[in-house]
Structure 1
Amino acid sequence: MKLRIRHSTRYTYDQKVQLNIHEFYLIPLQRFYFRVLKSNWTVFPKPQGIHERINFENNPYFQAWFTGETDFLEIKSDFEIEVGEFNPYGFIIQPQPVFPFDQFPYPEEFRDYLRIYTIGENFPGISDFVKGVMKESDDLVGFLVLLLAKIHSKWEHIIRHEEGIMPLVEIFESKTGSCRDLSWMLMTMLRSIGLACRFVSGYAFNPELNAGHELHAWVEVFLPGASWIGLDPSLGLLADSRYIPLGISYDPKFASPVVGNYGGASLSHLSTDVVIEVV
């Protein structure tokens, strides 16, 4: 299957501003189940300089800097991607952990590397919910599948255009959240029992769903022997070949498609549009 992905991001400002250095995380991360056939990026106003770099978590990005003043910033990307088959359950956890557990026992050789992916806030409601799901499960994979199913059934996925993440308590108690809110809540749940997680932003393609899922966020959890496994709390699924990651981080703020700021007192307004179609 071949997909064409067109992604437009536009910031408008109430008055002229000076754009500071920006980072554009709009380069699909390497995965064995897809390959990029064509790609094109355009930025308006035209940057004085734009170069591809790699950040501290090995995410490729474009670093751009500007001169002069402007009342808008627009970034457009256009990809054609060939997608193959991928079984999200095609893995074996090794060594197999004792289940259930209070804190996941990572092998010693992984612990230092994974520490930053295990730190997170917590509160009793989160812990009680996770432990309750674990009591209903027979093994680790079954627990992850059941946890995804419960979040999908009990929490309403909403389209929220405001930037940032809702407060964790609000997400948990209101039983609503955008894909990035639900992903952050899932990360917190898994981190509360010692599982290493990271936040993923990118594209998801499902022609059976209404608009609003194309620019998406989900979670990856690290399982020894299987490495990083994608989990989508918004849809209650393990991530398959229809998920195209752009940025991955231990903290959502480092996985946004566009990172940057500007000089001046103007307010900014964001609009985005993503179209994914089979070609």
Structure 2
Amino acid sequence: MRARVIHSFEYRYDEAVLLGPHRFGLKPRGHGFQRLIDFRLEISPEPTRLYPLLAASGDEILRARFQGSTDTFLVRATSEVQTETAPLLQVCLEENEPHLPYPVGHLNGDLMGSLEGWLPNGQHDPSAVDLAQDALMGSDQRALMFLQQLVEIIQDRVKYTERHVGPAWPAGRTLKERVGSCRDLAMLMVEACRCVGLPARFVSGYHLVQPKPKRYDLHAWAEVYLPGAGWRGFDPSCAGAVDDRYIPLATSSKPELTAAITGTFSGPPGVKSTFAWSIEAEILDTADQPLEAEAAQSR
């Protein structure tokens, strides 16, 4: 799928403010099953310094610093990407499908941050442990069956709803409330996977569903590391395994590090602000061509 996405943000203040340092996680992934064809980031007021950095996850994050005062802050990210459907997991794993719980010592040490428990001492949330145990039942301890059952159980126990404010809830709260946003369900899946030794991380991006909704929103899902297949996406608030209509922006073992924009401002006491955003998406081509072939043609 080839698509163009325009993501706009508008912050307005009733008095002039000073913008502090900002972090932008708006640049789509340019490797793996996705190729970044074009990316433009327009910011007003113009930063005095704007530079990229490579995050621990491998994503490119942009940092900005500002001088002077302003009563408006406008950001517009325009991206064009080409995605392709990942190879079938059954084909990638063949006879080497991981059996669960997966021994931690068999994994590359680089993955350890994606196995940590949610609690401060590194232990797993008891609710996530119970959920993982339920998904293991009947899975014959096979990873693919476990993931399929985990998605089904989450969808059965938690009703999906939109929630635009606040961080992702931990597993215990989501299961207690029996309702959650896409980021709550994604975090629930991440925590359950980690309980059985499967590294998992949080993903923020776009899901270009069909039919086209009245307006698009940022979406969240999980990526699970399967030895022999690598990082693969799963969306517990939708159909499970992700396809080429998902566009990852930022990934992290900690969901707060995937925010589209983070930053600070300072101004007079009691200064008020308003915020508006929009996401426009256009699918340019639905042909599922190998990225290498199209790259060769473009040269």
What TM-score comes out, normalization by structure 1 length? 0.88
2:131 corresponds in structure 1 to 129
CA pair 24-93 structure 1, distance change in 2 beyond 3 A: farther
Contact 2:207 2:245 in 1 (8 A): yes
| CA deviation after TM superposition for structure 1 residue 269, in Å | 4.1
Distance 1:74 1:206 in 2: 27
Distance 2:252 2:96 in 1: 25
Matches within 5 A, 1:203-218: 203-208=206-211, 210-211=213-214, 214-218=217-221
Select the residue among 228, 231, 242 that pairs with 1:228: 231
1:249 corresponds in structure 2 to 252
RMSD over aligned Cα, in angstroms? 2.3
2:290 corresponds in structure 1 to none
Distance 1:169 1:45 in 2: 42
Any unmatched runs of 5+ in structure 2?
119-123, 285-299
| CA deviation after TM superposition for structure 1 residue 256, in Å | 1.0
**Bigger shift: residues 192-201 or 244-253:** 192-201
The total of aligned residue pairs comes to 275
Deviations 1:219-239 (A, max 9, x none): 111111111111111103112
Identical-residue share of aligned pairs (%): 29
CA pair 124-53 structure 1, distance change in 2 beyond 3 A: closer
Distance 2:139 2:105 in 1: 23
Contact 1:149 1:236 in 2 (8 A): no
Distance 2:209 2:43 in 1: 28
Matches within 5 A, 1:1-279: 1-89=1-89, 90-92=91-93, 95-99=96-100, 101=101, 104-108=102-106, 110=108, 112-121=109-118, 122-138=124-140, 139-208=142-211, 210-211=213-214, 214-264=217-267, 265=269, 266-279=271-284
Any unmatched runs of 5+ in structure 1?
none
Distance 1:214 1:88 in 2: 28
CA pair 93-20 structure 1, distance change in 2 beyond 3 A: farther
| CA deviation after TM superposition for structure 1 residue 213, in Å | 5.8
Contact 2:216 2:281 in 1 (8 A): no
Deviations 1:168-220 (A, max 9, x none): 43211111111111111111111222221111111111113645664211111
Distance 2:32 2:191 in 1: 28
CA pair 88-163 structure 1, distance change in 2 beyond 3 A: farther
Distance 1:86 1:96 in 2: 17
Distance 1:209 1:172 in 2: 30
What TM-score comes out, normalization by structure 2 length? 0.83
User: What is the letter of the counterpart of residue 184 of structure 1?
Assistant: M
Distance 1:149 1:213 in 2: 25
